[in-house]
Structure 1
Amino acid sequence: MLYIGVDLGTSAVKLLLMDAEGDIKNIVSKEYPLYFPHPGWSEQSPEDWFAQTMEGIKELTAEVDKSEVAGISFGGQMHGLVTLDKNDCVIRPAILWNDGRTGKETDYLNRVIGKDKLSEYTANIAFAGFTAPKILWMKENEPENFAKVVKIMLPKDYLAYKLSGTFCTDVSDASGMLLLDVKNRCWSKEMIEICGISEDMLPKLFESYEVVGTLKKEIAEELGLKESVKVIAGAGDNAAAAVGTGTVGDGRCNISLGTSGTLFVSSKKFGVDEYNALHSFDHADGNYHLMGCMLSAASCNKWWSEEILKTKDFAAEQKEIHKLGENTVFYLPYLMGERSPHNNPKARAMFIGMSMDTTRADMTQAVLEGVTFGLRDSLEVARNLGIHIERTKICGGGAKSPLWKKMVANIMNMKVDVIESEEGPALGAAMLAAVGCGEYPSVEAAAEKIVKIIATIEPEEELVAKYEEKYQKFKQIYPTVKGLYEL
């Protein structure tokens, strides 16, 4: 049988077709626009997501026996606020994960309601990108729109709803709404009351590998698929990526260098970082995970190369980088503010340390190193919790760069396991579909069968020492300039 994984990203939807053995048969990507109506705001049209997903599925399955398609599941950008009215029409553009408009609401939740209470209710504190602050923003700033709200959902769940008619979400994605009691995997009645909504506005909760329904008749006909094709709940993009890299079970790590960057640690036990610098979420394998998330990762390199250097040849730019651990230029990777560990939507990117002999390659190197240093910040929080991590998987667009992977190994002082497929969320979603259809007894069993390590990058003692010195300097920059962001 065949399984479709849909990775609903920020710049495009990537669709992957996988057989029962985990062999990838086809991959299709469809782009859609991203809107910035005000500085720091970030929005998209859910209708664009659905239209491009439908076109993508048609293209994905054009050359195969469509009767073999058994299931479809999702990995999706997290935290986005999608609202529907009584007629199931989208009320306003979705407010995305990297939108920074909710500073006032985030402060209210953290300071007035209180971080201790939020952590008690949800295992997390408020971040500007989370869904609950967006609900409060909409209630305050768009009361006419808020009065129309009948359904509140996350981006990938809009696709599941359009395909199956089931109003659903999964616990991994719901963990990032600040509405879920993560420990008990149920909606928090206290947070529902604080946000001024009712529980019937929220979707039914499922585990990521559970079947939520089948294709609606008209959808199946349009796609040329059987109505019996199962729709599986899916997961937030980072949890789906973790499944796709085999980061399931206990004590495993994955680093994602996508539009955003994440450090993801799987665990069979529920746990909370006392400073709430890391997110404590439910995992797609039925367990839990801790995650540090930076808002701009590979997107920093994309911005630097395409907008500033005016080139899309990322590899050519990196060819001139030779002296690792010796760069005197530093880069703070906060193009859209920052989440972990600083929780500051006002933070912004900057270069520091240039001189008359600074080269283009030095600047490019600083961007790659700055993102990796930012992820190291989250790793240090995990290490302070007593979590001992010796190796990590890696995925995302940035993982295609051999140079960047070498930087990760040496800046983190960890072995980096390179897997056969770096498709991350799309592969993880297809694997969840296979589990939901009974192809595998568990997510861990699917990962053990499908995910294959093809190489390991070892940290080099001399380079680790050089980068340790550089990281200690990097750590001092944000506290030094933090006050400038308030001006």
Structure 2
Amino acid sequence: MLLLGIDIGTSSVKVSVVDAASQNIVASAQYPDEESPIKALHPGWAEQSPQMWWDQAQTALQRCHAKALYNPQHIAAIGIAYQMHGLVLVDKDQNVLRDSIIWCDSRAVEIGDKAFAAIGEEKCLSHLLNSPGNFTAAKLAWVKENEPDIYSKIDKIMLPGDYIAMKLTGDITTSVSALSEGVFFDFKTNGISKEIINYFGFDESLFPVINPVFSAHGQLLSSVAGKLNLKAGIPVTYKSGDQPNNALSLNVLNPDEVAATAGTSGVIYGVSDQLTYDQESRINTFAHVNYTREQKRLGVLLCINGTGSLYRWAKHNFGAGLSYTQLNAEATKAPVGSDGLRILPFGNGAERMLNNKQIGAHIQNIDLNLHTQAHIFRAVQEGIACAFRYGLDIMRGNGMNPTVIRAGKSNLFLSELFTETFVNATGVPVELYNNDGSVGAALGAGIGAGIFASPAEAFSNAKAIQLIEPTSTQQFESIYQEWKELLEAKIKNQN
């Protein structure tokens, strides 16, 4: 029996077909080969076309089929992971009304901050576990305020994964986990937040039906099945934001277990059984994929917007023609500390861990007679690792103290240099797994379809392929403290 996982990323869409019995990957493919475009009509804005995601998902699946390693008719269930927080709007005929305002768009920060003050900071934090900040609720309020003609036509609001499920099945659903990531969910009342919908003037009819994460979210339409060479009626049995899904793919489901990813954005995601929140809302808490009213499992999320996006920028501007593998090799030619070159990786929208400030990315201490291409690439990786350390210290201040962090061997964790820098900067060992978001989505589909009795059974064969332990924390501590001084000076100059 086969399971299909679809991961809607910011840069590309990846699909994987997994054998349910062995939990092994049968085939994977992604599209496009280069990063997908992000539309920035104004500074701080970021939009993508939902139709683009759907086109990319179809192409990626056809590429996977073309490998002829499985019979597509044997796929029994579909799971979807997706970039978090994006706002998708459709009318009563399921037509998209505008491009999606995605996770790194900063236009709604002021709207969210005003809601935080008006509703009450303590009430927001204790009920929503977050400030409305720059999340989906504030983005919807921006549309209501600035595009009233579009707002008047909305039948349902969705997140990116809901849209893909709609294209597959014709049905629109949501979940507690999804509502919480949009800051629409009240953890005290266990329902849609009355404070949020009343303050912004939203109609509750805009929200889709609420289903468990692991459950039937619709069945594959015959018209779509024919185009995709799949069997009509296959259920979509799992939908999750990319970070909860990444944690699932690494079997991070219980309190004190921690996952990390370093793709377009960088994330540390730990599980708690407490309704915890940061007083400054620099880290965020959402319902994890296995959250229930009876057994609370919360995902505590630290996000750095500019990780892979910074490396992509460096590649395009300093390493034209080089692959990421070649960039990683070039970076090793520079010494630890990059001969004093320091980079702050904050140029991809408002950073939550910096109190939603946009300080921009900065390259500091350039010596025109010393620094080379290799120094740039190494300083990028060191700057990203230092940003992870800065965020992890915030998490530590909120009671999250990981003794090991699990990560998929993908994106920046494909770089041995980055992985070593990460563990030495944070002081925490990393376990690497041969897993990714699309595999997690496929196994999630197996859980939702009842093929696995529990998440633990779905990942019973998961084994770490590598353990990287800190070796030079003292050396990196001085690098980090210098980097931190530069960051805090930039923050101070903005205040």
TM-score by length of 1: 0.93
How far is the alpha carbon of 1:325 from its aligned partner? 4.3
Task: Give the letter aligned to residue 291 of structure 1.
Answer: L
2:84 matched to which residue of 1?
A: 78
Matching residue's letter, 2:289: A
Closer/same/farther in 2, CA of residues 299 and 341 from structure 1, 3 Å limit: same
1:341 aligns with 2:353: yes
| Between 251-260 and 279-288, the greater mean CA deviation after superposition | 279-288
Tell me the equivalent position of 2:455: 443
- Matched residue type, 2:113: D
Supply the distance in 2 between the matched residues of 1:481 and 1:26 (Cα, whole angstroms).
46
The structural deviation recorded for 1:169 is 1.9
Alignment of 1:314 onto 2:324: yes
**Is 1:42 paired with 2:46?**
yes
For each residue in 1:312-336, what CA deviation from the matched residue of structure 2 results, as whole angstroms up to 9, or x when unmatched? 3233333343522464121111111
Following the alignment from structure 2 to structure 1, what is the Cα–Cα distance between the partners of residues 74 and 249?
22
Residues 60-85 of structure 1 deviation map (CA, whole Å, 9 limit, x = unaligned): 23522223111001110011111111
Deviation of the 1:389 alpha carbon? 1.1
CA change 1:397–1:43 in 2 (3 A) is same
1:15 aligns with 2:15: yes
What is the rounded CA distance, in whole Å, between the counterparts of 2:322 and 2:357 in structure 1?
28
- Alpha carbons 1:285, 1:444 under 8 Å: kept: no
Q: Percent identity?
A: 29
CA contact (8 A) 2:260 2:406 kept: yes
CA-to-aligned-CA distance 1:240-290 (integer Å, 9 cap, x gap)? 111112222221111100000001102233322233221111111332110
TM-score (norm 2): 0.92
- State the match for 1:272 in structure 2: 277
Summarize the Cα distance change of 1:183–1:314 in structure 2 as closer, same or farther, 3 Å threshold.
farther
**Maintained 8 Å contact 2:319/2:327:** no
Residues 14-54 of structure 1 deviation map (CA, whole Å, 9 limit, x = unaligned)? 11110112111111112354322222211111112122223
Alpha-carbon distance in structure 1 between the residues aligned to 2:146 and 2:461:
47
Counterpart of 2:130 in structure 1 is 124
User: Tell me, which stretches of 5 or more residues in structure 1 are unaligned?
Assistant: none
* Cross-structure match for 2:263: 258
Whichever residue aligns with residue 245 of structure 1, its letter is L
8 Å CA contact retained: 2:309, 2:348: no
Q: 2:370 matched to which residue of 1?
A: 357
Residues 64-103 of structure 1 mapped to structure 2, 5 A cutoff: 64-103=70-109
In the alignment, residue 57 of structure 1 is paired with which amino acid? L
Amino acid at match of 1:70: A
Whole-angstrom distance in 2 between the partners of 1:66 and 1:136 = 42
**Is the 8 Å Cα contact of residues 111 and 133 (structure 2) preserved in structure 1?**
no
- CA contact under 8 A between 1:245 and 1:394: conserved in structure 2? yes
Helix, strand or coil: the match of 1:57?
helix
Cα deviation 1:203-258 (Å, max 9, x = unaligned): 22233222222112222233232223111231100111111122222211111000
Evaluate the alpha carbon distance shift between residue 148 and residue 255 of structure 1 in structure 2; reply closer, same or farther with a 3 A threshold. Answer: same
Which range is displaced more, 59-68 or 263-272? 59-68
Q: Say which is worse superposed, 188-197 or 399-408, in terms of deviation.
A: 188-197
Residue type of the alignment partner of 1:58: Q
| RMSD over aligned Cα atoms | 1.9
Are residue 104 (structure 1) and residue 105 (structure 2) matched?
no
Match of 2:294 in 1: none
Moved over 6 A (4+): none
Task: Please give the secondary structure, in 1, of the residue aligned with 2:120.
Answer: helix
- State the shift of 1:139 in Å: 1.2
1:291 equivalent in structure 2: 301
Q: How many pairs were matched up?
A: 480
Of 30-39 and 233-242, deviating more is 30-39
Pair 1:133-2:143 in alignment: no
Match of 1:391 in 2: 404
One-letter code aligned to 1:4 = L
Q: Which runs of 5 or more residues in structure 2 are unaligned? A: 292-296
Partner of 1:52: 56
Distance 1:75 1:465 in 2: 38
Distance 2:325 2:198 in 1: 51
Measure, in 1, the Cα distance between the counterparts of 2:185 and 2:376. 42
Matched residue, 2:433: 419
The equivalent position to 2:468 in structure 1, one of 457, 472, 477, is 457
* Corresponding residue SS for 1:61: helix
